Amino acid sequence: MRRLYVDGADGQLHVTVAGNGPALLLVGSAGRSARVFDGLIQLLAADFTVVAPELPGSGNSHAPKPGFTMRDFARNLVEVLDGLGLDRAHFYGFQTGNKMGAALAVDWPARVGRVVLAGQSHSLVPDKHARDGAILGNVAHYFDEAPMDERARQAQLWATGFKRVSDLWWDGGLYSDPAGWAAFERAREAVVDRVQALPFARATYEANFAYDLGADIARIAAPLMFLEVATPAEDASLGRQGAKLLALQPGARLETLHEPDGPSHAVTLARQYPQLAALLRDFLLG
């Protein structure tokens, strides 16, 4: 794997590149660096030139400017392709990454091959109003508008952010995970990523709330697969979104993976990368 920088209109974007074959963009959830995909990249590099960019506000890339939108993030993906000399790429987007992928497929259709939009059920709700409500509970602390000076606001933000980091590190599942030390490594990476991205989280979620995922899904012309990550809690509170997604794209493929309940910001599918890699190969190379 190579780590490198690509120049964009807004600043430099940090990118991981590995493998040979048709290009495949991997874009993850808000606040996660490309480290989260290292295990997946190793499984896919024999079949694809895998490109995992860190979008503005994540990892070592530049900060998002005020008013940044999902279409700006999608433009950054085009800049990554341009910087690497790639005409087009398949796309896999997880959680926030699925919005960036949908915007990319609609605005730059010639730059994408096949598209996989993945995420937990709350991340794939196609109706904008309903999706905003489903997401808000997880990120409301970024939008606390109580009167306070900027120093107090920053102190509150960091206090809440470190509580979420602590929840990750002291999750009891770390000590019972059959993967052993791999679980600790995933937690360490998540802690580093979350602390690094915390100052820019609000800007990313503002772009998320402003974006109409369902409207763009209906306009995607590329071959499309939805990958819904189901959890018991969201099955009970929200329900599966696959049927609604297929109503917008009847020709799309729908797959489901299952994860245990836990902090939504901790779900990455890392424990299921072999299954995910097999699904991606089957769809993208089919």
User: Is residue 140 predicted with pLDDT exceeding 60?
Assistant: no
What domains does the chain contain, in order, with CATH numbers? 2-284 (3.40.50.1820)
- The pLDDT of residue 22 is 98
Rounded CA-CA distance 5/135 in Å is: 31
Question: What's residue 173's pLDDT?
Answer: 65
Enter the pTM of the model. 0.86
The pLDDT value given to residue 266: 74
DSSP-assigned states of every residue in 227-248: EEEE-HHHHHHT---HHHHHHH
Q: What percent of the chain has pLDDT over 90?
A: 61
Kindly compute the dihedral angle of the four CA atoms of residues 138, 143, 149, 151, in this order, to the nearest 10 degrees.
Answer: 40
Residue 98's pLDDT is: 97
Which one-letter amino acid corresponds to residue 107?
D
* Amino acid letter, 139: V
Q: How far apart are CA 283 and CA 184, in angstroms?
A: 31
Structure tokens at 16: 């991981």
What is the rounded CA–CA span in Å between residue 223 and residue 90? 10
Minimal CA–CA distance to 198: which of 242, 153, 236? Answer: 153
Q: What percentage of the chain exceeds 70 in pLDDT? A: 86
Say if residues 68 and 203 touch (Cβ distance below 8 Å): yes
Give the mean pLDDT of the chain: 88
226: nearest Cα among 249, 208, 206, 199? 249
Q: How high is the pLDDT of residue 193?
A: 75
CB 257 within 8 A of CB 17: no
Axis crossing angle, helix 96-107 with helix 201-210, rounded to the nearest 10? 50
- Hey, how many other C-beta atoms are within 10 angstroms of the C-beta on 53? 30
143-150 contacts: CB < 8 A, separation 24 or more? 143/202, 143/205
